[in-house]
Amino acid sequence: MTNRNLVLVSGANGHLGNNLVRLLIKKGVKVRASVRNIKNKECFNDLDCEVVQADITDKASFIKALQGVHTFYAVGASFKLWAKDPKKEIYDVNMSGTRNTIEAAAEAGVKRIVYVSSIAALDYTSLPAKESNGYNPDRRDMYYNSKNDGEKLAFQLAEELGIELVSVLPGAMIGSEAFLPLNVSYGVLKLILNKQIPMDTKITLNWVDVKDVAEGCYLAAQKGRSGERYILANEKCMTITDTTKLAQKLYPELKIKVPGAVPKFVLYAMAGLMEFTAKISGKPPVLTTKDIAMFSGLQQNFDLSKSRNELGFHPKSPEQAVKEAFSFLMENKNLL
């Protein structure tokens, strides 16, 4: 028997997962939180929820974790844009994770799934991008591919197994509460405050407050139509350079310099060098040649009318989200 008030949030010690757990508890929902490594529990210290171990690569662990659950928030995934073996470490993990968790949910009798996809799974060829544009035709990045193919697989499995599934597509999530290691998006703000962005890459990000995305996930569970996708981002993107200018204005004492423009071949040369160093050190590079090829100059602007009208999704502006995120990092120096 499922308990109408019991939900499972996977990846619950990640940035979105943990903020979603906090929001659901505030709304009086009974939360079970699953984490891959049960030792990583410090972000639940002040939270009234059950914490269980489950790994998206292990279906049996999810069949157990999902017992009695009515709504499953499928947040857990490998969120990284660089790996030594991207197909194995990112694509295969996310694809098998989608299959394992949805099959497990069906076997456990779960009624509804909110599947966390990404704006990576949208087609940007006509702007503003909207849900009905279809999927991203750019196949150069394994994380992007895993989000496009993973979402398609999620809808297909849900239909075959007779389970309601709504997909949400968040932008670049920033904001409190956050813990180390910071996610990729938050990492960009950290680089800005630490003055580690030496040049203008013309890369844009669609900033959105993680708390707004958590609210959007909850709204999708309540009001989202099964088989539909909803963008949880802002209408306009911001360049990393404009984001840097905002930091410069907010924190003059840090003496942050706005990065200067350089020819594209210089960007490629720098990125190539960073990738070479990363292969030796095993640490992700700040910039890759693929980042320049895929994202330099890409406008990530969205039509939010569907999320607004059907879910009641109203995120704070990108500027406000960035201001609050910078403020959180400055107050929590251990994260810098």
Residue 40: pLDDT over 90: no
Which residues lie closer than 8 Å to 266 by C-beta, 6 or more apart? 199
pLDDT at site 4:
80
CA atoms within 13 A of residue 272's CA, in its CB half-sphere: 6
Tens digits of residue pLDDT in 316-331: 999 999 999 999 999 9
pLDDT at site 86:
94
pLDDT at site 224:
98
The domain total for the chain is 1
* Owning domain of residue 34: 3-177+208-234+301-316
Residue 18 lies in a domain: yes
Residue 127 lies in a domain: yes
Residue 262 lies in a domain: no
CA distance 2 to 44: 24
Identify which of 72, 20, 59 has the alpha carbon closest to the alpha carbon of residue 43: 20
pLDDT at site 127:
95
CATH number of domain containing 95: 3.40.50.720
Residue 248 lies in a domain: no
pLDDT at site 3:
79
- In the sheet that holds 50-53, the strands lie side by side as 50-53, 30-35, 3-9, 69-74, 112-116, 164-170, 229-232
Tens digits of residue pLDDT in 146-158: 999 999 999 999 9
CA distance 328 to 323: 9
Average pLDDT over residues 71-93: 94
Residue 118: pLDDT over 90: yes
pTM assigned to the model: 0.96
Structure tokens at 327: 């403020």
Give me the count of residues in the chain. 336
Average pLDDT over residues 224-237: 98
CA distance 179 to 191: 16
Residue 225 lies in a domain: yes
| Angle at the Cα of 230 from the Cα atoms of 15 and 51, rounded to 5 degrees | 35
Which residues lie closer than 8 Å to 163 by C-beta, 6 or more apart? 102, 105, 106, 110, 111, 112, 113
Query: What is the SS3 assignment for 164?
Result: strand
pLDDT at site 181:
87
Residue 258 lies in a domain: no
Residue 48 lies in a domain: yes
Residue 332 lies in a domain: no
Tens digits of residue pLDDT in 198-224: 899 999 999 999 999 999 999 999 999
Contact 254, 326 (CB under 8 A): no
Query: What is the SS3 assignment for 192?
Result: helix
